[in-house]
Structure formats: C-alpha cells, structure tokens
Chains A and B, each alone.
Chain A
Amino acid sequence: MGDLQVKEQPKKYDAVIIGSGAGGGMAAYVLANAGLKVCLLEAGPYYDPAVDSDQLKPAWESPRRGASTKYRPFGDFDGCYWGWEIDGEPYTQTPGSNWKWWRARMLGGRTNHWGRISLRFGPKDFKHKDIDGLGENWPIGYEDVKPYYDKIDRLLGLFGTVENIPNEPDGIFLPPPKPRLHELFIKRAATGIGIPVIPSRLSILTKQINKQRGQCFFCAQCNRSCKVYADFSSSSCLVIPAVATGNVDLFTNVMAREIMTNKEGLATGVSYVNKEDLQEYQVHGRVVILGASACESARLLLNSKSQRHPNGLANSSDVVGKYLHDSTGADMGGIIPELFDRKRYNEDGVGGMHVYTPWWLDNKKLDFPRGYHIEYGGGFGMPVYGFYWGIENLNGKFKVKGKKKEAGGYGASLKEDYRYFFGANVGMAGRGETIARADNYCEIDPNTVDKYGIPVLRFHTKYSEYEIKQAKHMKETFAEILHAMKAEITWGGDDGPENDYGLHAPGEIIHEAGTIRMGNNPKTSALNKFAQAHDCKNLFNVDGGQFVSQADKNITWTILALSMRTSEYIVDQLKKNNI
C-alpha cells in the first residue's frame, strides 16, 4: 500500500455510467443494446435477485426473525444493502436541519426493494408553476415523456386500469389483482365520503411478458426482490440483460471520487477507489452519465472542481445541490373490530397495495398548494419480529370474544388475544408534493471526509407551512376514512401542531430529487431538457437530480422514462459525433 499511483484503465469506453439503479441501469441497457461500449460503476456488491433474494423465507430463517439492523433498516429480509447510515460514510447537517439520507449500495440500487408504485406524471405536474406560481416549470411537458412512458410500460410491465383521470395518465397496463378484504372495507368507506379508490399501479407482472421473466406468484414480498424477476428491479430487468449483450463492463464495489475533465472543460472519465484493494483508478469515456442518486450525483459534481469548473462541474449556475426535495409523508393506522377473529386464508397478494387513492381535490379551495396520494396496507402480514408489539396498548380496549379484559396480561388468555386481533389491522400513508426551494440544499462539508477521503455532503433542509398544512390535511382525511369504516385509530392519531402533524422528516420517504435540475436557462439550471449539462456537453444526469419538481407521484417510473429518453439522445449524438 506504499505506492499511491493511480491506475488507468486502458480501455476507452463510449460511456462511463456511475450507479446501477433505475437511471444508470436504464442508461446501460439502452446504450449496450445500441452497440456502444459501456463501463458501469457501482459502489456496492453484485446482486442478482434470482440468487440473493430472501424471498419465501419464513421468519425463523433469520436469527433475528426479520428484525431490522443498520445494514437492513427495513428488516433482515429486505432486499436493500445499507440505508440511513453506512459505516465510514457519514453526512452532516447545518443546525436545525434534519435530512434523512437513504443510500443503497448494491447492483440495482434501491430498486431491489422499492414499492413498485409506478405512476406517470401528468400534464399539470410538468407545468405546475403556471397553475399556482410556485416552484419552476419543467423545460419539457407530458407530451415529450409520454412516448417513453409507453415504451417502458411495454418493456418492464405494470398493472393498473384505464381511469381517464385528467392528471393521472393511464399507461399500457396488465390486469390488476382483485382487492383484499381490508381494501374492500377501505374502498367502501372512502368512496362513501367522496374519496376515490382505484386499482394501484405497480410494476409487477400479473401476466408473463417475456421469456426472461416469470409471472407473479403472490407472496407479497416484492421488497425482498423477486427470484423469478416478476417485478421491476434494475438489477434483474436492466443491468443483468445489459451485461449479457457483451457490451458492458460492470465494476462493483467501486466508489466514484471525481469526474475528470480536460482543458476544454469536457468530461474525460471518472476517477474512483476500488473498495476491495483501496487503490485509485481512472476510467475514460466519451460521455459520463451520472446515475448515483440525486444527492450522490450532486456530491460528485461539487467535488469535481477544476480551472474550467471552479464552482464544481456543471455548476456555473450555482444550482447544484439546491432545490433538494422529498415527498411529504404522514401516516395513520387502525384496527377494524369487524375483522376480529376473521377466517384464515392466504391473502398475501402482490408486494404492496392492490388499491390506492390518487389526488382528488382542488388546491384552489385548500390552504396548501399541491396534492398527495394515499397508499394502503393491512391484513394478515407474515409474523416477524415485532409481531403485535405493544399488545398491552390494544387488548384492554376491545372485548375479546365478548369479554372485557384488563390491558396486558399473560398466559392462555394472552394467546387468545393474539389470535383474535391477527389480521384486523389497517394502515394508510399520504405521499405528497413538496415545493422545491433553493434554500433547501446539500453542499460539500468543508471539514469532513468519508473513509475514502472524499468530502461528504452537509444538508440544510426545512419544511414550510405548505408541507405542514398538507400533512394536517392528510391526517384529517385518514381519520375520516378510518371513522367511516368503523375502525379505531391505534397509532398516528395524536399528532398535532407541536410535531407538524406527524410530517416525516425530509428524506424519510426516500424520493429525493431536484439537486441538478434541468431548465432552458443555463443561469438557473444545470442541465438542458435532455439532462445534458449546460456547461459540459458530454456529461448527463439520469437519476432524480434532474427533476424540477416531483408531483405526488413516486419518481422511479419517470426516472426510467427520462433515462431512456436521454440515453437515446446520447446514442444519436454520439453517432452524429456531436459529443
């Protein structure tokens, strides 16, 4: 380890892609299939759901019975390596900021465990400033992205139903699964008070779409990633097929340090550290594509300073790191007494809700500017660590088999309670749109580096009255729905102004975006409408960084569509020798 010489990779690639999640995976797929030579860098280890998924393991196959660890914050079986913290890779905050940063380190990134909620942005979502004067319009509209949504619907598959709701564009859908019992309760109650409930739109294959991928067999465990590739993960559906073309060299366990540029200010490649031998390497390409996640990609740009790019690469506008925003989130749960002691059967269904509520109100009549959708859960979940934890807060409140009991207890009577309550839960979660603001940002912390010596991010974020009022509205809505279905609130019912109505800390919904936003004006945006850097024409961004705003729609499907659009543009520009 005495010599610190940098090793140059001799092969020159058409493209070097950083990150193998939805954005980077799609770029690798499109470029490789167009015959271009691609180097794909991933900071985590190799991961193939067919081999590595914990699908169908019962709780006892985990020594901790599925409990969470810092390596798996969503539980021991969850298909995501790391999460809120990574050993040796800190991030910091300015006083008063409470950003939560989820980082996946694995092939496919967090698409191995994501919720598969695959919503298109609607026409209003690209031009919302025209409606309420807030935030910024995108330089593109729904009509620009629609052809790519159509293509990824066909390529990757999702279920849903044609509803003709103006700002919730329909896709090319597979048939959805029938609602579960608690979902029928929710639907009856919510529609009765004017809140729509429609089939969810998830990228899970209820029918087979090609020979490489299987059909869903309804284990409800998409979060563990799917061994038969019946749901969308970038690893199974994009990267592994891209590598199979022979055009992709995949380097795992490598951490990008900096994007290199030449005297003309063009990108020449990427320098990175190999986490296994801790040696420094450089790899060269005609274009560099950033898909490391909104914040990691911004960090890379800000850490890539040069004479031509003294404020960081692609940052003459000074917007890189700014406009950082996540979805809002607030949740509530209840129990449905009518479902106590219910008949047992397998109701796993797909991994996620079978129905949801798209945004249904007019913000002109409300005291907050943007909408939210509602996600639902409940029923017979697999018993894992935490099973009916806190039963002492539940079993004194309801008669069990006609008998009022004292809260807590033990013995045969307690065993009866667990059986009685099992499967009667219901939960709901609002996911809404935040206004992207310049004063919510990440920047390089001048005092702190990670274990590879790379300067880390420092966050500065705070929610405004808009988001807090939206959370208040969510909570009121959830309470109304629970009341209408004769459910009792069991958690999330005590939030108020003192805790911003239970509004999640920014970042916690894991939809971060906006840090490298696109726009027509190079003074107020970092990228043009093809996610090509204004300051560096052979540099592109394909993750959440490019987003101007993110609607109340989970962003993955739009990341995929935009990445495909940008990748096709790159193929075209390379062929024309424009870059």
Chain B
Amino acid sequence: MDRRKSLKILTFGSLGTGVWLEACKTEDQKSIKPKGPVAAKPVKLPPGMMKEEVDELKKVESETFFNSHEMKTITVLGDIIIPKDGISGSASEAGVPAFIEFIVKDKPENKLPMRGGLQWLDQQSLRRYQNVFINCTATQQIELVDAIAYPQKAAPEMKPGVSFFSLMRNLTASGFYTTPMGYKDVGYKGNTPNAWNGVPDDVLKQYGLAYSAKELKECVSYPESK
C-alpha cells in the first residue's frame, strides 16, 4: 500500500460517531438479517461499533439526569475550576457542562456523588449566605470553594464537600482537556501522521542527552518531509 493510498484511507474513516448514529437512525432496524450462516459481510452499523454499544449509547443519550438548577450550578463551578485565562477559554466555553451530564449517565457510579454533592453545596450556601450557591455573590462562592478545594487543609466538617469538589475538578479537567481548546492549551502535538526521527536536537542538548552511535546506526530514519 503506497503512502497516497494510506492517506486516502485515513481521510475516509474520520466521520464522528454522532454523525453515523444520526445517519443510521432510519435504517438500523432492518440491518442484521442473514438467513442462516452466509459468508460474513459487514453489518450496517457505524464503523467499528457493536450493536450493543450503539444501543447503549442511544439509551444514555435519551436520558436526562441533571435538572436545570443542577446544570447551572455545574456550569458556575466548572468555570471557577477552569476559567478563561490568557491562554484558553473557560470550561463552559469548551462545553464541559454537557459532557458532565453525559459522562455521569455513562458512568452511573457518579450519579449519587454528584447529585448529593450539589445538594451539600447548596445546603452549605443556605446556611452561610441564605442563598443557593448560584445566587451567592462571586465573593461568597469563592469563599465556599476555598473551604473545599484544598484537601489537606480543609476543615474536617468540610470533607463531604472536598470529595465532591475533587470529583468535580477531575470531571471538569477531563471535559476541558479533551476538546480542541484543551489540546491547544496543553500544547498536545500528536495524533497526526508523521515520520518519527527521534527527539529534536535542541531538546537532546537541553537535557544533556545524545543518541549513541549504535542507535544512530540501527534505528530507522526518514527523509524530512517538506
């Protein structure tokens, strides 16, 4: 297979799952119906997905878990955890709240900790500021977040909030750094066809490293692409 054909194959398989699910909606029922064993042919499903996976995904996507108040709270908290800064945008700009809605349904073990944690947060807010969290002032919100954002110095009675906030921080990071904005933010350069010729020279020099004569002789090297 030559390089041109290789690249052609690569361009074709990049349709996202969502697009495929959409395209398959009307005809997925009549897909798998061979009469007894026949020489196998690919069945009509999104490429690389099992029927069971497609069914599961449809089920998860048809469910709504968080109510609108919870979604608003998740949005406010997410943007406190990952705000816009000089390098990239905020969690909500990257679509993190919708991701959290999805992943909590997809990993249902997070449902209770998230719902309970959001309740705990509102209860604390009401007690301290006579308002649910999203209706507090920015100063009040940060004051409460400061009480739960640092596991090692948080007061013992804040521990339920600490667990919730750590989960929220981890889910927010997972939602944010897995978007084009997040990839750009951390400077991820991979996931593209290339010819690996080793660590760049300036980087080797920076760490006082060099490839050995044996490595230079034995390892593959490719002409630099233009």
Roughly how many angstroms separate A71 CA and B52 CA in the complex, as a whole number? 8
A321-353 toward B: CB 8 Å interface, digit per residue (1/0)? 000000000000000001000111111111000
* CB-based contact A422/B186 at 8 Å: yes
Question: Is the pair B194, A346 in contact by a Cβ cutoff of 8 Å?
Answer: yes
Q: At the interface, yes or no: B149 with Cβ under 8 Å from chain A?
A: yes
A392 close to B (CB within 8 Å)? yes
User: Quick check: is A50 within 8 A (CB to CB) of the other chain?
Assistant: yes
B50 at the interface (CB under 8 A from A): yes
Complex Cα–Cα for A279 and B38 (A): 13
Which residue in chain B gives the minimum CB-CB distance to A413?
Answer: B85
How many B residues face the partner with a CB closer than 8 A?
91
B26 cross-chain contacts in A, Cβ below 8 A: none
Out of A46, A213, A419, name the residue touching B42 (CB < 8 Å): A46
A69 on the B face (CB < 8 A): yes
B174's partner among A274, A347, A385 (CB-CB below 8 A) is A385
**A-chain residues with CB within 8 Å of residue B187 when the two chains form the complex:** 344, 419, 422
Measured CB to CB, the nearest residue on chain B to A220 is: B190
When A206-B220, A228-B6, A383-B183 are in contact, do A219 and B81 touch as well, CB less than 8 Å?
A: no
Do B174 and A219 have beta carbons less than 8 Å apart?
no
From 151 to 186 in chain B, residues with beta carbon under 8 angstroms from any chain A beta carbon are: 151-153, 165-166, 169-170, 173-175, 177-180, 182-183, 185-186
A-B pair count, CB < 8 Å, reads 285
- Residues A65 and B174 in contact in the complex (CB < 8 Å), given A46-B42, A348-B196: yes
Question: Would you call A55 and B219 a contact (CB within 8 A)?
Answer: no
Chain A min CB distance to B167 (Å): 10
A184 touching B199 by the CB < 8 A rule?
yes
Cβ contact within 8 Å between A57 and B14: yes
Q: Please report which residues of chain B, range 1-15, place their CB below 8 angstroms from some CB of chain A when the two chains form the complex.
A: 1-3, 5-6, 9-10, 13-14
A44-59: CB near B (< 8 Å → 1, else 0) gives 0111101111111111
Is residue A453 contacting chain B, with contact meaning CB distance below 8 A? no
Report whether B185 and A415 are in contact in the complex, using a CB–CB cutoff of 8 Å. yes
| B223 CB within 8 Å of chain A | no
Q: In the complex, how many residues of chain A place their beta carbon closer than 8 angstroms to a beta carbon of chain B?
A: 109
| B215 & A218 in contact (Cβ 8 Å cutoff) | no
Whole-angstrom distance between the Cβ of B209 and the nearest chain A Cβ: 5
The answer on a CB contact under 8 Å between B82 and A415 is yes
Question: Contacts of B30 on A, CB cut-off 8 Å?
Answer: none
A414-B169 in contact (CB<8A): yes
Does the CB pair A345–B13 fall under 8 Å? no
Interface contact B169-A227, CB-CB below 8 Å: no
Check if A178 is an interface residue, CB within 8 A of chain B. Answer: yes
Contact A51 B48 (CB under 8 A): yes
What is the 8 Å Cβ interface bit string for chain B, positions 191-202, against chain A (1 contact, 0 not)? 111111111101
B112 interface contact, C-beta 8 A:
no
What CA separation (Å) do A263 and B33 show in the bound complex? 37
- Which of A132-140, A246-254, A435-443, A458-466 has 4 or more CB atoms under 8 Å from chain B? A246-254
Is A62 part of the binding interface, using a Cβ–Cβ cutoff of 8 Å?
A: yes
Whether B213 sits at the interface, judged by CB under 8 Å, is no
Instruction: Determine if A360 is an interface residue (Cβ-Cβ < 8 Å).
Output: no
Contact A87 B103 (CB under 8 A): no
A176 within 8 A of partner (CB)? yes
Contact at B36–A274, with CB atoms within 8 Å?
A: yes
Q: Which of A42, A47, A61, A391 contacts B17, CB < 8 Å?
A: A61
**Chain A residue contacts of B220, Cβ below 8 A:** 159, 174-178, 206-207
Given contacts A219-B193, A383-B177, 18 further A-B contacts (CB under 8 A): A46-B42, A52-B47, A67-B107, A177-B220, A181-B209, A207-B220, A208-B1, A251-B38, A277-B34, A281-B37, A343-B200, A346-B192, A348-B191, A348-B196, A387-B182, A409-B149, A415-B87, A418-B186
19 contacts between A and B (CB under 8 A): A52-B47, A53-B48, A55-B13, A67-B103, A176-B218, A181-B207, A185-B209, A206-B220, A228-B6, A251-B37, A345-B200, A382-B190, A383-B188, A387-B182, A392-B166, A407-B152, A408-B169, A418-B177, A418-B185
Residues of A within 8 A of B (CB): 7, 9, 42, 45-48, 50-67, 69, 71-72, 79, 81, 87, 107, 159, 161, 174-181, 184-185, 188, 199, 206-208, 211-215, 217-221, 227-229, 249-254, 274, 276-277, 279, 281, 283, 338, 342-350, 380, 382-392, 396, 406-412, 414-415, 418-419, 422
- B interface list, Cβ under 8 A from A: 1-3, 5-6, 9-10, 13-14, 16-18, 32-43, 47-48, 50, 52-53, 56-57, 61, 80-83, 85, 87-88, 99, 102-103, 106-107, 145, 149-153, 165-166, 169-170, 173-175, 177-180, 182-183, 185-200, 202-204, 206-207, 209, 211, 215, 218-221
The 4 closest A-B pairs by CB, nearest first: A178-B198, A52-B48, A59-B178, A344-B187
